[in-house]
Amino acid sequence: MWLADYPLMDTLATPPVASDAARAAALAIGRGVNFGNMFDAPSEGAWGVRAEDRFIALVGGSDPAIQSVRLPVRWSNHASADAQATIDPVFMDRVVDVVDKLLARGVVVVLNMHHYRQLDGDNVDDGEAAVPDSADHALVRRRFLAMWAQIAKRFAQHDARLLLEPYNEPHKLLDTQSDGSRPWNDLVSRAVRVIRQTNPTRVLVIGPTHWNSANDLAQLELPHDPNLVLTVHSYEPFTFTHQGAEWISPKLPTGVTCCDAAQTRTITQLLDKAQTQATLKGYPVFVGEFGAYSTAPLAARVNYLSTMRQQMAQRGMPWTYWELAAGFGVYDPVQNQFRPEITQALYGTSALNP
CA distance 231 to 284: 8
What residue numbers bound the domain in which 44 lies? Answer: 2-347
Q: Is residue 108 part of a domain?
A: yes
Using one digit for the tens of pLDDT, what is the confidence trace for 100-109?
999 999 999 9
175-200 per-residue burial string, b: 16 or more CB within 10 A, e: under 16: beeeeeebbbbebbbbbbbbbbebbe
* Total tally of structural domains belonging to the chain: 1
Long-range CB contact pairs, 233-236, < 8 A, 24+: 233/169, 233/207, 233/287, 233/288, 233/289, 233/290, 234/267, 234/270, 234/271, 234/274, 234/287, 234/289, 234/290, 234/308, 235/289, 235/290, 235/291, 236/266, 236/267, 236/270
| 344, pLDDT greater than 70 | yes
**pLDDT greater than 80 at residue 352:** no
Q: Residue 297's pLDDT is what?
A: 98
**CA neighbor of 210 nearest in space, from 198, 219, 222:** 219
Contact 85, 74 (CB under 8 A): no
pLDDT digits (tens, 9 = 90+) for 17-45: 899 999 999 999 999 999 999 999 999 99
- What is the pLDDT confidence band of residue 134, given thresholds at 50, 70 and 90? low
55 within domain boundaries: yes
**How confident is the model over 159-186, as pLDDT tens digits?**
999 999 999 999 999 999 999 999 999 9
**φ, ψ for residue 227, nearest 5 deg:** -100, 60
In this predicted structure, the answer to whether residue 353 has a pLDDT above a threshold of 80 is no
| Residue 239: inside a domain | yes
> How far, in Å, CA of 182 to CA of 175, rounded?
6
User: Considering the domain boundaries, does residue 354 fall inside one?
Assistant: no
2 pLDDT exceeds 90?
no
Q: Looking at residue 185, which CATH number applies to its domain?
A: 3.20.20.80
- pLDDT at residue 13 in the model: 60
> What single-letter amino acid sits at 327?
G
Do the domain assignments include residue 69? yes
Across the range 49-59, mean pLDDT stands at 97
C-alpha 240 chain-centroid distance: 21
Supply the pLDDT for residue 17. 87
Q: Calculate the average pLDDT of the chain.
A: 94
The reported pLDDT for the residue numbered 5 is 79
Its pTM stands at: 0.96
Percent residues over pLDDT 70 in the chain: 95
Higher pLDDT among residues 194 and 350, named by residue = 194
CA distance 108 to 258: 31
pLDDT at site 1: 46
Q: How confident is the model at residue 227 (pLDDT cuts 50, 70, 90)?
A: very high
Examine the pLDDT at 82 and tell me if it is beyond 60: yes
**For residues 293 and 309, what is the distance between their CA atoms, to the nearest angstrom?**
16
pLDDT > 50? residue 133: yes
For residue 69, the Cα-to-chain-centroid distance in whole angstroms is 10
The reply to whether 353 falls in a domain is no
Percent share of the chain, pLDDT over 90 = 89
pLDDT at residue 70 is higher than 50:
yes
Provide mean pLDDT across the span 322-344. 97
* Residue 277 located in a structural domain: yes
Q: What is the pLDDT of residue 7?
A: 82
Evaluate whether residue 352 is within a structural domain.
Answer: no
Band of pLDDT at residue 130, cut at 50, 70 and 90 = confident
